């Protein structure tokens, strides 16, 4: 018996690796499918500073053609070149203040504005030492948004994005690595094209990350003197900044295309440290090796596995990226979600409706009986009734009738809006966010607001803005959607292109105030 397989994608420096990995009920993992696609790179640019949407889009499209993501949970890892990881320590703060304080502190270490990044943090507090350790990690919004948009359009059920450093540590722990949790390790992944990363980590906390690309003299043979220099620079920097830490061991994840026996021999001679190269054990089925790509892909599949002191919930797509529950979804999945939520909320309101009417009916009969027992002059006096109990009962009844009118007469239900939006989404529209508010303002006024964000795809020859205006005109003609709103307007629209597809990214707003 096996669990539903996940699709795991590693966006490396020069290639995209994708694997479908299944988890057996006994705890073992099996590689069901694997593919790699090269990414064309812009020459002489810093990949973190400049995002190449066109070439990445082409590689992603080729990758998911080989291993489709439709209806699957997708886990994505970004290489060190596309992510930032910073470790720092702070005084222990109350839990409610830790995360925001960590984000504020992290801005000191960032090369760009934090508002341009999706970010998260792993925080570990040790009260005895009155210190909390923070591993802050981030990626540019441009690349994360591009990945989310593409994968959800391809039908992914959910998408999580994290730096490749975290799954690499998970794989080492799962493969039975011999180091103690308290040991400080230098983990190195090395590809045959010279792309490499080095991580210095202890107890699952990443203390230092560096990525670099080595010259390749011969095919599959990265230049060893350059590798030695990069490792030495990393160790020197680490020793300078972490004076009480000592690196205990090297852990190498090396591409099988690299002739590494001689390389490891040189590393051991130059640095005089034990070296470990993880290999597939009995709990891994179908894995030919644990080179950098497969090690990261396996680590993605291990997110839900119980491993001591590893980041199980690291995600750049469900924290700041999806703040306020603005979750991207494919059109079909979004419609299903809206339909289910509408049915659930509708059932709740029907129950409330029945209970309120039942209660009001009973109290109305009691009030009528009390009124009938009073002398006629008092009844004819209307609002000047002298009986205090009747006045109180009348006031309560009027208040409850007003509440019922608000709930079932004046108020525009979110279920109605959700149902109308789901009904009117065309196949070429990808909705990324929906927010609806029906709130009470001072002076018994009601404030209605609706916000829609998404993308509209069209052929290159079509006018994206004209198509968007036509759809907005359709929305305005919907009585259910416009109930409680004066108008729906385009607040922003921007043309973009992914390969041959013309895209209009839009934001719509509808507001009104009713007395």
pLDDT in tens, 205-214: 899 999 988 8
Q: Which pair of tokens denotes residue 128? A: 């005895």
For the segment 235-286, what is each residue's pLDDT rounded down to a tens digit? Answer: 999 999 888 888 999 999 988 888 767 888 889 899 999 999 988 888 888 9
Residue 506: in which H helix or E strand, if any?
strand 501-514
Which of 141-155, 344-358, 393-407 shows the lowest mean pLDDT across its residues? 344-358
CA distance 377 to 367: 17
Q: Are 19 and 30 in contact (CB under 8 A)?
A: no
Q: What average pLDDT score do residues 483-506 get?
A: 78
Helix axes 331-372, 414-424, angle to 10 degrees: 150
Return the sign of the alpha-carbon dihedral for residues 169, 174, 178, 182: positive
Q: What average pLDDT score do residues 451-459 get?
A: 80
Q: What is the pLDDT of residue 434?
A: 77
Q: What is the pLDDT of residue 347?
A: 54
For the segment 177-209, what is each residue's pLDDT rounded down to a tens digit? Answer: 777 777 899 999 998 888 899 999 987 789 999
Q: What is the pLDDT of residue 355?
A: 56
Q: Which pair of tokens denotes residue 298? A: 């396996």
Residue 163: pLDDT over 90: yes
* Residues facing residue 429 across a β-bridge: 456
Q: What average pLDDT score do residues 488-498 get?
A: 80
Q: What is the pLDDT of residue 346?
A: 53
Q: What is the pLDDT of residue 18?
A: 95
Q: What is the pLDDT of residue 13?
A: 83
As a whole number of Å, the CA-based R_g of the chain is 30
How does 371-407 read in b/e, with b if 16+ C-beta sit within 10 Å? eeeeeeeeeeeeeebeeeebeebeeeeeeeeeebeee
User: Closest Cα partner for 475 from 422, 410, 411, 412?
Assistant: 422
Which of 121-130, 208-217, 250-259, 429-438 shows the lowest mean pLDDT across its residues? 429-438
Residue 430: pLDDT over 90: no
Return the sign of the alpha-carbon dihedral for residues 297, 301, 307, 312: positive
Average pLDDT, whole number, for the chain? 77
Q: Which pair of tokens denotes residue 178? A: 């011999």
How does 103-139 read in b/e, with b if 16+ C-beta sit within 10 Å? bebbeeeeeeeeeebbbbbbbebeeeeeebbbbbbbb
Q: What global pTM score does this model have? A: 0.62
Residue 351: pLDDT over 90: no
Residue 358: pLDDT over 70: no
Residue 70: pLDDT over 60: yes
- Band the pLDDT of 110: cuts 50, 70, 90: confident
Q: What average pLDDT score do residues 366-390 get?
A: 49
Percent of the chain with pLDDT over 90: 19
Query: In this predicted model, which residue has the larger pLDDT, 461 or 146?
Result: 146
Residue 420: pLDDT over 80: no
Q: What is the pLDDT of residue 391?
A: 67
Residue 428: pLDDT over 70: yes
- Band the pLDDT of 357: cuts 50, 70, 90: low
Residue 366: pLDDT over 70: no
């Amino acid at each position: 018996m096996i669990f539903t397989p996940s699709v795991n994608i590693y966006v490396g420096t020069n290639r995209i690796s994708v694997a479908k990995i299944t988890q057996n009920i006994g705890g073992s993992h099996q590689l069901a499918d694997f593919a790699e696609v090269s990414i064309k790179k812009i020459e002489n640019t810093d990949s973190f500073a400049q995002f190449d949407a066109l070439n990445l889009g082409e590689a992603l499209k080729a990758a998911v053609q080989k291993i489709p993501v439709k209806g699957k949970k997708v886990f994505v890892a970004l290489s060190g070149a596309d992510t930032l990881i910073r470790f720092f320590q702070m005084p222990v703060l109350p839990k409610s203040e830790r995360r925001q304080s960590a984000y504020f502190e992290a801005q000191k270490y960032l090369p760009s504005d934090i508002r341009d990044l999706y970010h998260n943090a792993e925080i570990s507090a040790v009260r005895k030492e009155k210190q909390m350790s923070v591993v802050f990690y981030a990626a540019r919004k441009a690349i994360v948004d591009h990945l989310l948009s593409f994968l959800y359009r391809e039908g992914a059920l959910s998408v999580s994005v994290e730096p490749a450093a975290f799954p690499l540590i998970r794989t080492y722990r799962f493969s039975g690595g011999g180091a103690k949790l308290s040991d400080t390790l230098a983990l190195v992944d090395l590809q045959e094209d010279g792309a490499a990363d080095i991580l210095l980590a202890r107890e699952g906390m990443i203390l230092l990350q560096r990525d670099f690309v080595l010259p390749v003299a011969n095919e599959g043979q990265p230049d060893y003197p350059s590798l030695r220099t990069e490792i030495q620079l990393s160790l020197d920097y680490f020793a300078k900044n972490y004076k009480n830490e000592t690196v205990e061991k090297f852990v190498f994840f090396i591409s099988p295309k690299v002739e590494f026996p001689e390389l490891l021999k040189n590393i051991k001679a130059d640095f005089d440290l034990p070296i470990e190269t993880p290999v597939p054990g009995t709990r891994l089925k179908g894995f030919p090796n644990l080179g950098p790509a497969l090690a990261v892909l396996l680590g993605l599949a291990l997110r839900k596995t119980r491993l001591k002191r590893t980041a199980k919930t690291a995600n750049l797509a469900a924290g700041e990226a999806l703040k306020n529950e603005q979750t991207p979804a494919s059109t079909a999945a979004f419609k299903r979600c809206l339909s289910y939520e509408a049915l659930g909320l509708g059932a709740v309101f029907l129950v409330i409706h029945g209970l309120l009417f039942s209660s009001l009916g009973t109290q109305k009969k009691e009030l009528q009986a009390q009124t009938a027992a009073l002398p006629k002059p008092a009844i004819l006096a209307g609002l000047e009734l002298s009986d205090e109990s009747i006045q109180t009962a009348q006031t309560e009844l009027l208040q409850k009738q007003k509440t019922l009118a608000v709930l079932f007469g004046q108020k525009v239900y979110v279920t109605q809006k959700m149902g109308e939006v789901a009904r009117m989404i065309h196949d070429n529209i990808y909705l990324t966010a929906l927010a609806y508010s029906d709130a009470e303002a001072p002076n018994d006024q009601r404030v209605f607001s609706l916000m829609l964000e998404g993308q509209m795809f069209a052929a290159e020859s079509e006018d994206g803005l004209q198509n968007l205006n036509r759809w907005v005109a359709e929305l305005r003609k919907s009585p259910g959607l416009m109930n409680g709103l004066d108008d729906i307007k385009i607040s922003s629209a921007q043309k973009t292109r992914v390969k041959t597809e013309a895209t209009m990214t839009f934001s719509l707003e509808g507001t009104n105030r009713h007395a």
